[in-house]
Amino acid sequence: MTGPAEGRDRQGVGRFDVPQQSPAADADPARRNGHRPAAQVAPVDASTPGGTPPAVADRPGDHWDRKVANGLAFLRRRLAGDYEVDEFGFDPELTDAVFHPLLRLLYRDWFRTEVSGVEHVPVDGPALVVGNHSGTVALDALILSAALHDKHPAHRYLRLLGADLVFRMPVVSELARKTGGTVACNPDAERLLGGGDLVGVFPEGFKGIGKLYADRYKLQRFGRGGFVSAALRTGTPIVPVAIVGGEEIYPMLADIKPLARLLKLPYFPVTPTFPWLGPLGMVPLPSKWLIEFCPPIPTAHLTDSADDPLVVFNLADQVRETIQQTLHTLLERRPDPFGP
């Protein structure tokens, strides 16, 4: 009688019809030991740091896949309320994701803006940025804030001070708050400066943006110099900035004052395209823009003179003259308002 053991040899190796394959003597050690060979590893590129293999290039769809994923993540955070705003309502995430990209198309592609002197804006700490105002619609303030954020090495935000009218308008008020704006008053300005922010102010106000095209680039009166008082009380440097290009986007030929009073507006503009073309008249003309930041004017040595009218007036006049002279220089550099 034969048992199952008869089907095996003394070493326990099976004796079946298919012969057992023995590894070659020069085979890989893992193969000789009966293991399956590991997956082939790509050769190491010695030219890369640390001997790591080079990164795989993105496929054509990877860029858009990331954009879609980032967009969905952004919407999920907004719907869930997973974002932060400060005490003034400033929303940095919304500003970076929505407002600045739109303004970037305007200042970079439409207005072909050139920015110089950004090294005069502090890398950290407070500063009061004071500029000229123009353009019938206050686009210059928005363009300045976006261009400064993009060109500054620290990508700092400019907290704009706006007139009361801006914050009485339902939709505009919310947008202004979300982008970092607040009412142009000394308490708010001093709180922002005391917190180390960059604050932007346009002392001409509506007199600047509502002036006729015949008076372009002629600075209007700077009011009572309230911005100077805020800078003096906080010892903040003042950075004058000159903006050329805003006067040509909506050349204001006339102001219909009775209609402005009826609508409770500071002015009702008549331009070459508005109101004749209706909504199309709101498209700004593609003027060439130049923005130059001037050297800062220190105020730390004048903190005790914040309530001295003479000191405030002289400092405000110094800032105004600096901006006016810089405007003349920039206009000489840009002889054609709509050139390249």
Whether the pTM exceeds 0.85: the reply is: no
Least confident of 83-92, 113-122, 156-165: 83-92
Query: Cα(272)–Cα(276) distance, rounded to whole angstroms?
Result: 8
> So what's the pLDDT on residue 213?
94
Tell me what pLDDT residue 58 has: 57
Position 54 scores a pLDDT of 56
pLDDT(52) > 60: no
pLDDT given at position 119: 96
Residue identified by tokens 């890369």 is 48
Q: Residue 23 pLDDT > 50, yes or no?
A: no
Instruction: Give mean pLDDT, residues 24-44.
Output: 45
Q: What is the pLDDT of residues 242-299, one digit of tens each?
A: 999 999 999 999 999 999 999 999 999 999 999 999 889 999 999 999 999 999 999 9
- Please enumerate in sequence order all residues whose Cβ is within 8 A of that of 186, keeping only pairs 6 or more positions apart, or say none: 226, 229, 230, 233
* DSSP structure string for 187-227: HHHHHHHHTT-EEEE-TTTHHHHTS-GGGTT-----TT-HH
Structure tokens belonging to residue 54: 């080079």
pLDDT digits (tens, 9 = 90+) for 63-99: 777 878 877 877 787 777 777 888 999 999 999 999 9
List C-alpha distances in Å: 35 to 30, 61, 211: 5, 40, 87
pLDDT value for 59: 65
Q: What are phi and psi of 60, to 5 degrees?
A: -55, -35
Q: In what order do the strands lie in the sheet with 198-201?
A: 114-116, 290-293, 238-244, 127-131, 198-201, 158-162, 182-183
Question: What pLDDT shows up at residue 20?
Answer: 47
Higher pLDDT, 38 or 135: 135
- Phi-psi bin for 232: left (phi > 0), alpha (psi -120 to 50), beta? alpha
- DSSP H helices in the chain: 29-32, 62-80, 92-94, 100-104, 139-151, 170-178, 186-194, 206-209, 226-234, 257-262, 309-333
Label residue 4 by pLDDT band (50, 70, 90). very low
How do residues 209-238 score in pLDDT, each as one tens digit? 999 999 999 999 887 788 999 999 999 999
Look at residue 225 in the predicted model and tell me its pLDDT: 80
